Amino acid sequence: MAIFFTLHTLARTGEVRFAPWDEFDLEARLWSIPASRMKMRVAHTVPLSDQVLVLLERLRPYTGHYHHLFVTRHSGKPISENGMLYALYRLGYRGQLTMHGLRGTGSTLLHEAGFRSEVIWPSNPGHVKKREL
């Protein structure tokens, strides 16, 4: 579920791993990440798609009583730094795919579809390309 969530939000793995339930406003369909949790130290708001809302509904019975969305079964602590990567390995993608690579692919697809850089990566002004789409 963390992999699907990452694909739909294009968030960094650290932002996903430590995402607490209280950052989500499901009625407003927004995930508000405070600056303190962002790499560039700029607050970031992620609109939530229908697919993410369904994922969160399915996840809540399992982790809704914990602080974080994605926790380990045994300890209730956030999933490990390499948890999603190892899941990709178990799916047969070792040496072919990484979580960061998925984010890069998402960025490429959105750029090719005509979305502006500041819409794709609003919290990373250094990522804005000289030639805007």
Label residue 53 by pLDDT band (50, 70, 90).
Answer: very high
45, two tokens: 């708001």
Mean pLDDT score, 59-74 = 95
**Dihedral (Cα; 71, 124, 54, 82), 10-degree rounding:** -30
Flag whether 133 is in a domain.
no
What is the structure's pLDDT at 128?
A: 41
Mean pLDDT score, 49-67 = 96
Mean pLDDT across the chain = 87
Flag whether 54 is in a domain.
yes
What is the structure's pLDDT at 85?
A: 94
pTM passes above 0.95: no
How many structural domains is the chain composed of? 1
What is the structure's pLDDT at 86?
A: 94
Label residue 79 by pLDDT band (50, 70, 90).
Answer: very high
DSSP calls for 6-44: HHHH---HHHHHT-BGGGEETTTTEEEE-GGGSTTS--E
| 69: number of Cβ within 10 Å | 26
More confident residue, 129 or 73: 73
| Structural domain boundaries, residue 101 | 2-127
Q: What is the CATH number of the domain that holds 20?
A: 1.10.443.10
Flag whether 39 is in a domain.
yes
Flag whether 108 is in a domain.
yes
Helices 50-63 and 2-9: angle between axes, nearest 10 degrees: 150
What is the structure's pLDDT at 60?
A: 96
Flag whether 132 is in a domain.
no
Residue 106 has pLDDT above 50, yes or no: yes
